């Protein structure tokens, strides 16, 4: 079989555009779980690799649901779709997190993935008894050890440890269940885990850091990397760098999946109309808040909206890579603050494509064949409508071109991704 694309979809209550909830077609009455369940059904019917739930442990936009609870419920209504949830290493403990993801993996019969993040949102600190957010370097040092503990706990059970010998009175073989005995700078964890492995062995690990520190963490820990790359050249450079880093780590395949903000229409003009309709709904206050948080938890309210982005010090507590990306976009395109928040209101700095299903498929194929990615993570402008557009108009084009599956060949997320 020729090399195949990997496609996943970000979930969200209403869509990824900052004004999605204001759109006339957006359903604000249906309970959130039902909205998420519809999205999961659309994604599985389209044979996507996974759905992805981004998360914060603070109120930063529309109210949402706790991801592991949500994905455990969605697991019962799906059979093949991968289920990836964000969980921060900054405001969690490794044993709790390892146990929860192993449980989701077992419930879903091998379809769980953990999006390993360090909290970039300073508002989260106040929910965990801290006056100040944890500094960037400390967050990443904790994250590296956090992953070491979680991965170690997932490996404490050998696959044949559960023997179930009723006659001999042996439920599991203690010689095949190993203590962890971890003692490090941040954690001391005895182990073993009290959840047995799923059919895929252990959950898939996803990472989204694009700073130098984040790339090093991803190369050492992740199976999949999500990244924001607005141009083909930047995506190609990122792909080469990450694969070189991975080779130095001596680990197996690393799947690179940039985000794509796709507005799909029946014609190019129809797609542009849909794009403009959402842009016209942006409230300056909401756009400014989004930009301020993404550019390093900076209050931009004191600056003229139609003036230039002020010179900012390198963030110590926010997303360094996103701050650098957005600053470069503003400088390279000579954008005002207003123009910059309008620019990122939907795509957040990710690749943005507006057009027909064939035009969107063309761009996906171009990046895939040019060595810029292994696939994409869809950020639909409206949900579930934008995901339905993508599944109906883009996926069949990719299938006809032999780039994407028409049926699942595996029942696990590792299988979908071609990982051991």
Phi then psi for residue 22, to 5 deg, are: -90, -10
Tell me how many helices (H) and strands (E) the chain has. Answer: 14, 13
| DSSP, residue by residue, 3-62 | ---EEEEE--SS-SSTTGGGSTT---SS-HHHHHHHHHHHHHHTT-SEEEE---SS--SS
The reported pLDDT for the residue numbered 312 is: 79
- The two tokens of residue 46 are 């389209």
Percent pLDDT > 70 in the chain is 98
Residue pLDDT, tens place only, 159-212 = 999 999 999 999 999 999 999 999 999 999 999 999 999 999 999 999 987 889
- The two tokens of residue 59 are 């109120």
The reply to whether 269 falls in a domain is no
User: How far, rounded to the nearest angstrom, does the alpha carbon of residue 221 sit from its chain's CA centroid?
Assistant: 15
Average pLDDT of 329-351? 92
Q: What's the rounded Cα separation, in Å, for the pair 86 and 99?
A: 15
Average pLDDT of 384-388? 98
Residue for token pair 């001999």 = 168
| DSSP code for 308 | B
Residue for token pair 């959402």 = 278
59, pLDDT greater than 90: no
The reply to whether 77 falls in a domain is yes
Task: List the beta bridge partners of residue 182.
Answer: 189
Least confident span in 95-104, 293-302, 377-386? 293-302
Question: 3-state DSSP call for residue 367?
Answer: helix
Q: What is the CATH number of the domain that holds 246?
A: 3.20.20.30
* Residues 370 and 236: beta-carbon distance below 8 Å: yes
Phi then psi for residue 342, to 5 deg, are: -70, -35
253, pLDDT greater than 80: yes
At residue 224 the predicted structure's pLDDT band, cuts being 50, 70 and 90, is very high
Q: What's the rounded Cα separation, in Å, for the pair 9 and 309?
A: 31
Count other Cβ atoms within 10 Å, centred on residue 249: 13
384 prior amide bond cis, ω within 30: yes
At residue 153 the predicted structure's pLDDT band, cuts being 50, 70 and 90, is very high
Burial zone of 259 (CB within 10 Å; 0-12 exposed, 13-18 middle, 19+ buried): buried
Residues near 169 by beta carbon (within 8 Å), at least 6 away in sequence:
none
* Residues 185 and 145: beta-carbon distance below 8 Å: yes
Q: How many residues does the chain have?
A: 420
At residue 26 the predicted structure's pLDDT band, cuts being 50, 70 and 90, is very high
The reply to whether 116 falls in a domain is yes
The reply to whether 54 falls in a domain is yes
The reply to whether 304 falls in a domain is no
The reported pLDDT for the residue numbered 318 is: 55
327, pLDDT greater than 80: yes
* Residues 181 and 210: beta-carbon distance below 8 Å: no
User: Residue 5: which of 374, 255, 363, 259 has the closest Cα?
Assistant: 374
Residue pLDDT, tens place only, 94-114 = 999 999 999 999 999 999 999
Average pLDDT of 338-359? 95
Task: List the beta bridge partners of residue 88.
Answer: 117
Residue pLDDT, tens place only, 395-419 = 999 999 999 999 999 999 999 999 9
The reported pLDDT for the residue numbered 315 is: 57
83, pLDDT greater than 60: yes
Across the chain, mean pLDDT equals 94
Count other Cβ atoms within 10 Å, centred on residue 168: 8
Phi then psi for residue 295, to 5 deg, are: -95, 10
The reported pLDDT for the residue numbered 314 is: 66
**Domain carrying residue 67:** 6-261+372-417
The reply to whether 294 falls in a domain is no
The reply to whether 91 falls in a domain is yes
The reply to whether 357 falls in a domain is no
The reported pLDDT for the residue numbered 412 is: 98
Domain total in the chain: 1
Question: 3-state DSSP call for residue 261?
Answer: strand
């Amino acid at each position: 079989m020729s090399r195949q694309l990997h496609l996943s979809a970000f979930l969200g209550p209403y869509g990824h555009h900052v004004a999605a909830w204001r759109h006339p077609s957006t359903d604000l009455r249906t309970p959130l779980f039902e909205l998420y369940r519809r999205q999961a059904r659309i994604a599985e019917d389209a044979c996507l690799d996974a759905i992805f739930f981004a998360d914060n442990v603070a109120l930063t936009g529309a109210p949402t649901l706790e991801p592991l609870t949500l994905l455990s419920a969605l697991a019962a209504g799906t059979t093949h779709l991968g289920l990836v949830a964000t969980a921060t290493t900054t405001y969690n403990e490794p044993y709790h997190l390892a146990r929860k993801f192993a449980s989701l993996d077992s419930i879903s019969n091998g379809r769980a993935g953990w999006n390993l993040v360090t909290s970039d949102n300073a508002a989260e600190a106040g929910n965990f008894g801290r006056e100040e957010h944890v500094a960037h370097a400390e967050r990443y040092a904790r994250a590296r050890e956090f992953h070491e503990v979680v991965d170690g706990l997932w490996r404490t059970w050998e696959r044949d440890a559960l023997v179930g010998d009723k006659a001999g009175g042996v439920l599991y073989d203690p010689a095949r269940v190993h203590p962890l005995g971890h003692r490090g700078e941040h954690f001391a964890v005895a182990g073993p885990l009290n959840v047995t492995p799923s059919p895929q062995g252990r959950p898939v690990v996803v990472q989204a850091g694009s700073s130098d520190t984040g790339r090093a963490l991803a190369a050492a820990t992740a199976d999949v990397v999500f990244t924001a790359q607005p141009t083909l050249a930047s995506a190609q450079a990122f792909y080469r760098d990450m694969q070189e880093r991975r080779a130095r780590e001596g680990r197996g395949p690393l799947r690179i999946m940039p985000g794509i903000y796709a507005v799909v229409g029946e014609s190019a003009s129809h797609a542009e109309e849909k794009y403009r309709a959402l842009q016209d709904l942006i409230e300056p206050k909401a756009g400014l808040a989004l930009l301020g948080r993404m550019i390093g938890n900076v209050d931009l309210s004191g600056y003229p909206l139609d003036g230039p982005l002020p010179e900012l010090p390198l963030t110590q507590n926010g997303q360094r890579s996103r701050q650098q990306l957005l600053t470069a976009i503003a400088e390279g395109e000579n954008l005002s603050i207003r123009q910059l928040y309008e620019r990122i209101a939907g795509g957040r700095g990710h690749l943005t494509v507006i057009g027909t299903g064939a035009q969107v498929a063309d761009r996906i194929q171009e990046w895939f064949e040019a060595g810029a990615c292994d696939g994409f993570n869809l950020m639909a402008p409206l949900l579930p409508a934008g995901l339905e557009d993508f599944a109906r108009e883009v996926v069949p084009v990719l299938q006809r071109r032999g780039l994407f599956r028409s049926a699942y060949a595996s029942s696990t997320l590792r299988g979908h991704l071609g990982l051991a």
